[in-house]
Structure 1
Amino acid sequence: MKRDEFLKALAALAAAGALPLSAQAATAVKMMIPANPGGGWDTTGRALGKALQEAKAADSVQFENKGGAAGALGLAQFVNASKGDGNAMMVMGAVMLGGIITGKPPVNLSTCTPIARLTSEYNVFVLPANSPHKTMADVVAQLKKDPGSVKWGGGSRGSTEHIAAAMIARAVGVDPAKINYVAFRGGGEAIAAILGGNVTVGGSGYSEFAEYIKAGKMKPISVTSPKRLNDVPTLKEQGIDVEIGNWRGVYGAPGISAAQRKALTDMVMAAIKTKSWQESLAKNDWTPAVMTGPAFDEFVEREFASLRATMVKSGMV
């Protein structure tokens, strides 16, 4: 077989996913992170990129941050620029679904290709270190007295912390439509606002605030989980019947083939077996929640329906 014929045959096998990852041609992954640096999606995308390289599933990973509108701006760019690209991936999760429900962007997540759910975690609500409040009970008391005076800071509109704030209001007898929620384009902006005392209470995944909590710069007052995290009391044990989780995953580009989807899935599955990914799970208090294939497709559909119902009930839609 001539050299050019051999190379064409090799490329065809690699494209079809018929070669093991180690035998495939050099892979340059493009990772869209639809948020500004410093948040959960950014941390997830960069941890996955490192793991892909450690697993030798990718020779290089190029990251691009595009924050805004609960990931809708990054999603639009991903949809328009990556059609048919079998090496493109986008970080996404429950926050994006919530943002799509509230914002109704012109782009549709359903045009992209589900690859895998990766992790799950719960949110923590924190106070700035110099806050006059000490507990969630103090925040609720002010919320009942003057809903607009409590500034909730967190991710984009429709994020899990936004939904949780609306659910808290409803649970304590306050009109959710009256909450004063300040949305930030990335975790870095939200952290700066909390540290600067520009919001009353901040919410995000525990991993994003962990170092500031440990340093005493933020005071954790509740978690949205069914049981305590790092000994922070749950909302339920404080008499607020609210529980909501967050999850993150990755999608492939629109218009890729079944073989390309399988190749991306295999790459991600190889990455999550690496030492660096396991270290990221431990460091960020992420719970492994791996799901792929038709099960992940169906999960996303159920999540859309469940989030929409919760948001309607909480007065957000």
Structure 2
Amino acid sequence: MRRDTFLKSMMALAAAGALPLSAQAATAMKMMLPANPGGGWDTTGRAVGKALIDAGVASTVTYDNKGGAAGAIGLAQFVNGSKGDANALMVMGAVMLGGIITGKPPVNLSQATPLARLTSEYNVFVLPANSPFKSMAEVVAQLKKDPGSIKWGGGSRGSTEHIAAAMIARAVGVDPAKINYVAFRGGGEAISAILGGNVTIGGSGYSEFAEYITTGKMKPVGVTSDERLKGIDVPTLKEQGIDVSIGNWRGIYGAPGISKAQRDELIAKLDKALKSKSWAESMEKNGWTPAWLAGDAFAAFVDKEFASLRDTMTRSGMV
């Protein structure tokens, strides 16, 4: 076989996804980050991109931050602008599900392609360093006296910290509909509001607040896990008599209209990336828990999460 004929054949096989991962050239990939810079999705997406490059399955990764509406704005751009693009990825997670339930946007996750769940993480609630409150018990006492006087700061409406705040209110006998929740478009905005004392109490994944907790600029007063997080000396809400536990998770979706072979190839690339040294370092740095679940199993998990979150939010007065 002539060399040019051989090369054309190999390129055709690669385009069809018929070549094994190791035989294909690293490709330029695109990552939709449906949030403003500085938050959990932004951090996760950039860590995945770095891992894809370090694992040799992507030559470059470009990022597009598009915050707002719990990720629905970025989702709409991704769905409408990436159809059939086997090199396009989007970060998403439990927050997006909550936002879709409350916001009812014209686009839905069912229009994109589920690839894999990557990590799980619990929320931590923090007070500004100069807060007049010293504990979650003091915040709850004031919440009972005057629900509107406590400003809860966090991600978009329907985020896990929003749901957790409503669950806390319900657990201590306060009407969840009366909580004063201030939603921000990204983690950076929420952090600034907390540090500036513009909200009473803030919530997010521990990784987003870690440096401010370490430097004493934020005081952690409770985590939403069933048991204390490893290496983190923060009491759970349950320890404090508040029967609330809720986790966060993050995953990756592919573009609408890609083939099963293309989906499986993207999953294989992600699997290889998550075994890289780069990803291991990101996991340790951010305190993430591995939660790999891919393909059809991940799609079924998302469907189940939708139903569970809708039930929780309905019972908490959010829907």
The equivalent residue for 1:121 is 121
Question: How far off its partner does 1:293 sit?
Answer: 1.5
For residues 7 and 103 of structure 2, the distance between their equivalents in structure 1, rounded to whole angstroms, comes to: 47
Conservation of the 8 A alpha-carbon contact between 1:22 and 1:56: no
For residues 246 and 206 of structure 1, the distance between their equivalents in structure 2, rounded to whole angstroms, comes to: 11
The equivalent residue for 2:274 is 272
Question: How far off its partner does 1:12 sit?
Answer: 2.5
Matches within 5 A, 1:162-311: 162-229=162-229, 230-311=232-313
For residues 268 and 235 of structure 1, the distance between their equivalents in structure 2, rounded to whole angstroms, comes to: 34
For residues 45 and 201 of structure 1, the distance between their equivalents in structure 2, rounded to whole angstroms, comes to: 27
Helix, strand or coil: the match of 1:106? Answer: coil
For residues 2 and 143 of structure 1, the distance between their equivalents in structure 2, rounded to whole angstroms, comes to: 77
The equivalent residue for 1:69 is 69
Unaligned runs of 5+ in 1: none
Question: How far off its partner does 1:65 sit?
Answer: 0.3
Helix, strand or coil: the match of 1:59? Answer: strand
Structure 2 counterpart of 1:305, one-letter code: A
For residues 26 and 214 of structure 1, the distance between their equivalents in structure 2, rounded to whole angstroms, comes to: 39
Question: How far off its partner does 1:24 sit?
Answer: 1.3
Question: How far off its partner does 1:211 sit?
Answer: 0.4
Helix, strand or coil: the match of 1:116? Answer: strand
Conservation of the 8 A alpha-carbon contact between 1:11 and 1:25: no
Matches within 5 A, 1:38-187: 38-187=38-187
Conservation of the 8 A alpha-carbon contact between 1:51 and 1:277: yes
Residue-by-residue CA offset, 1:144-163 (whole Å, 9 max, x unaligned): 11111100000001000000
Q: Percent identity?
A: 79
For residues 63 and 8 of structure 1, the distance between their equivalents in structure 2, rounded to whole angstroms, comes to: 31
Helix, strand or coil: the match of 2:123? Answer: strand
The equivalent residue for 1:313 is 315
Unaligned runs of 5+ in 2: none
Question: How far off its partner does 1:10 sit?
Answer: 1.6
Conservation of the 8 A alpha-carbon contact between 1:35 and 1:42: yes
Instruction: Normalising by structure 2, report the TM-score.
Output: 0.97
Residue-by-residue CA offset, 1:132-181 (whole Å, 9 max, x unaligned): 00000111111111111100000001000000000000001111011110
Q: Aligned-pair RMSD on alpha carbons?
A: 1.0
For residues 180 and 139 of structure 1, the distance between their equivalents in structure 2, rounded to whole angstroms, comes to: 13
Question: How far off its partner does 1:4 sit?
Answer: 5.2
Conservation of the 8 A alpha-carbon contact between 1:15 and 1:259: no
For residues 257 and 11 of structure 1, the distance between their equivalents in structure 2, rounded to whole angstroms, comes to: 18
Structure 1 counterpart of 2:83, one-letter code: K
Structure 2 counterpart of 1:272, one-letter code: L
Conservation of the 8 A alpha-carbon contact between 1:98 and 1:160: yes
Conservation of the 8 A alpha-carbon contact between 2:26 and 2:56: no
Matches within 5 A, 1:21-40: 21-40=21-40
Structure 1 counterpart of 2:86, one-letter code: G
Conservation of the 8 A alpha-carbon contact between 2:51 and 2:278: yes
Question: How far off its partner does 1:22 sit?
Answer: 3.7
Question: How far off its partner does 1:20 sit?
Answer: 3.2
Conservation of the 8 A alpha-carbon contact between 2:161 and 2:203: yes
